[in-house]
A = this chain, B = another copy of it.
């Protein structure tokens, strides 16, 4: 799991949109300048987020973007997987992006990586964009609400 700039930008944009959830449409330009994201790069990112259903847009003057879902319905895990692929450190050990890698035969090593994948996935799946905005509940306190032992790894 290595987060790319593209993925960081996607998170920043979603945080911005989450902070303005309910306020109507916001323009790419204001996301870009507020969060310091190259505008044309951001456009491409937003299209991906739109295709996946996280945001909606409207064209034309007075157009813009908004979240398609409430911030607490979008998890960090989903967004990182969408932008960067597997959360696992090696694809041999990825549920959603499996691919053979050189260490394929080393069961001990794979076991370690599987464990890390499970932790990382579980942690990121518990974080939503509501947890990431100032004013939202903190990721430390809140997650007790909801399924307690849910371990949906990936």
Q: B-contacting residues of A (Cβ < 8 Å)? A: 1-3, 5, 8-9, 11-12, 15, 35-37, 76, 89-90, 101-103, 106, 108-109, 111-113, 115-116, 119-120, 123-124, 127, 131-134, 136, 138-140
* CB-based nearest B residue for A90: B3
Contacts of A123 in B (CB 8 A): 112, 115-116, 119
Decide if A101 touches B5 in the complex (CB within 8 Å).
Answer: yes
Q: How far, in whole Å, are A70 and B44 apart by their CA atoms in the complex? A: 51
Decide if B106 touches A116 in the complex (CB within 8 Å).
Answer: no
Q: How far, in whole Å, are A36 and B127 apart by their CA atoms in the complex? A: 40
**A101-B8 contact in complex given A115-B123, A116-B123, A139-B112, C-beta closer than 8 Å:** yes
Contacts of A103 in B (CB 8 A): 8, 11-12
